[in-house]
């Protein structure tokens, strides 16, 4: 029972840590404010003074895709590590369950590192391509 309660506490703390950076960003969220929606994600893609868009269409779509993927990878990484941590805590001394949970955490960390390398490679290949 103590391990189960500890697992719940770890899960709640991990969920609380997800919202902390968002709350620190202030009232303007990731998609901008009401007057200029999505200005943070698609900076430079909105039409200016009746002219064509500030960036090419494919670059704007790529920026949006990378931002959505980054958000998704971050959320899934936190959820995956939280669930694996709970499985590790509730293994009950079973060596097989403990090994599986450790392996899953290791694989999630490797996946996050691979995404970071791919993101850095994209920034290096397209120097003018700035997201976020």
- Residue 50 maps to a domain: yes
Asked if the model's pLDDT at residue 2 lies above 60, the reply is yes
In terms of pLDDT, which residue wins out, 63 or 21?
Answer: 63
- Residue 90 maps to a domain: yes
Residue in this structure with the two tokens 């991990």, named with its chain if needed: 14
- For residues 57 and 98, what is the distance between their CA atoms, to the nearest angstrom? 48
- Residue 132 maps to a domain: no
Confidence band for 88, pLDDT divided at 50, 70 and 90: very high
- Residue 98 maps to a domain: yes
Query: How big is the CA angle at 30 (ends 20 and 51), to the nearest 5 degrees?
Result: 165
- Residue 17 maps to a domain: yes
What is the sign of the dihedral through the CA atoms of 120, 124, 126 and 129? positive
Residue 47, beta-bridge partner list: 53
Confidence band for 79, pLDDT divided at 50, 70 and 90: very high
pLDDT at 23: 46
Q: Which of these, 118, 99, 106, 98, lies nearest to 80 by C-alpha position? A: 106
- Residue 131 maps to a domain: no
pLDDT at 26: 47
Residue in this structure with the two tokens 């309660």, named with its chain if needed: 5
The pTM score is 0.59
Please tell me the total count of domains within the chain. Answer: 1
Structural domain span for residue 87:
2-125
In terms of pLDDT, which residue wins out, 111 or 125?
Answer: 111
């Amino acid at each position: 029972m103590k391990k189960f309660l500890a697992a719940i506490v770890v899960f709640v703390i991990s969920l609380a840590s997800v919202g902390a950076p968002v709350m620190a960003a202030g009232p303007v969220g990731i998609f901008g404010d009401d007057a200029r929606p999505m200005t943070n994600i698609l900076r430079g893609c909105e039409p200016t003074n009746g002219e064509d868009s500030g960036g090419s269409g494919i670059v704007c779509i790529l920026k949006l895709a990378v931002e959505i993927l980054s958000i998704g990878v971050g959320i899934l990484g936190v959820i995956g590590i939280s669930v694996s941590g709970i499985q590790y805590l509730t293994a009950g001394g079973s060596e097989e369950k403990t090994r599986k949970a450790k392996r899953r955490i290791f694989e999630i960390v490797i996946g996050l590192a691979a995404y970071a390398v791919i993101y850095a490679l994209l920034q290096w290949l397209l120097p003018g391509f700035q997201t976020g």
